[in-house]
């Protein structure tokens, strides 16, 4: 497989976890305002802040069946950019009966640029069943409001200075479809800052969290 195009001054964040015994991951990106390579101190501070803020803002809304493990931060500026990992095992603390591991809460991150196609999203592991409405495919209003507040607080906390480097949460687009319907690689990739977020009231699904087929 050919190496991916570098992304100047942007780090990949990998939130490793397990849901129902299946390994899962959430991937996000964080960009330095200067768009320069990360130092080891900066990438370490970013990994630490990313994990602690995920624990503070999202873990209270996730069922104990999920546990957040290590958070990895990887500088994408070059193929040999600095990396850092912050370990641990932190289960969710939300009340209620366990929902299927494939259940997900969808946060859509908004950017200033308009384009056709999917926008950046984060799929959180499920809460307990107490935040469902009478309709089994709908989160109740109080829960949606709580997740919207958690997403805002998480973004605000990471739109800050890490290890001496100011920066913010971003998304990275590596491909686009041209007017002829052909997928093209973007060189360099496009980087957009998160400006807002919204939470889907519908119960979403991530089937891969159920693990591979067994038949």
Show the tokens assigned to 127. Answer: 């809460």
- Residue pair 120/108 in contact by the 8 Å Cβ criterion: yes
Query: Does residue 5 form part of some domain?
Result: no
SS (H, E, C) 99-155: CCCCEEEEEEEECCCCCCCCCCEEEECCCEHHHECCCCCEECHHHHHHHHHHHHHHH
In this predicted model, what pLDDT tens digit does every residue of 183-210 receive, in sequence order? 788 888 999 999 999 999 999 998 766 6
Query: Does residue 37 form part of some domain?
Result: yes
Query: Does residue 36 form part of some domain?
Result: yes
Query: Does residue 213 form part of some domain?
Result: no
Q: Is the peptide bond before 188 cis (omega within 30 degrees of 0)?
A: yes
Whole-angstrom Cα distance, residue 168 to residue 134? 38
Query: Does residue 102 form part of some domain?
Result: yes
Query: Does residue 163 form part of some domain?
Result: yes
- Give how many domains the chain has, as a whole number: 1
Query: Does residue 214 form part of some domain?
Result: no
Query: Does residue 212 form part of some domain?
Result: no
In this predicted model, what pLDDT tens digit does every residue of 102-157 receive, in sequence order? 999 999 999 988 766 667 999 999 999 999 999 989 999 999 999 999 999 999 99
**pTM passes above 0.75:** yes
Q: Which domain holds residue 161?
A: 10-207
Whole-angstrom Cα distance, residue 153 to residue 159? 10
Please report which confidence band the pLDDT of residue 182 belongs to, taking 50, 70 and 90 as the band edges. Answer: confident
Residues 6+ apart with CB under 8 A from 117: 177
């Amino acid at each position: 497989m050919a190496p991916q195009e570098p992304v100047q001054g942007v780090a990949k964040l990998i939130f490793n976890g397990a849901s129902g015994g299946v390994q899962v991951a959430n991937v996000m990106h964080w960009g330095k305002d200067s768009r320069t390579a990360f130092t080891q101190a900066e990438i370490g501070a970013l990994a630490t802040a990313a994990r602690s803020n995920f624990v503070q803002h999202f873990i209270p809304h996730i069922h104990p069946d999920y546990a957040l493990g290590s958070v990895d931060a990887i500088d994408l500026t070059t193929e040999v950019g600095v990396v850092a990992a912050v370990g641990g095992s932190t289960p969710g603390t939300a009340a209620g009966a366990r929902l299927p591991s494939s259940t997900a809460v969808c946060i859509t991150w908004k950017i200033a640029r308009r384009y056709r196609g999917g926008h950046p999203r984060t799929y959180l592991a499920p809460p307990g069943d107490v935040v469902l409405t009478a309709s089994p495919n709908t989160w109740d209003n109080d829960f949606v409001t709580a997740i919207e507040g958690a997403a805002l607080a998480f973004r605000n906390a990471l739109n800050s200075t890490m290890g001496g480097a100011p920066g913010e949460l971003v998304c990275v687009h590596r491909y686009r479809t041209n007017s002829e319907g052909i997928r093209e690689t973007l060189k360099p990739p496009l980087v957009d800052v998160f400006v807002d977020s919204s939470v889907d009231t519908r119960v979403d699904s991530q089937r891969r969290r159920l693990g591979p087929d067994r038949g």
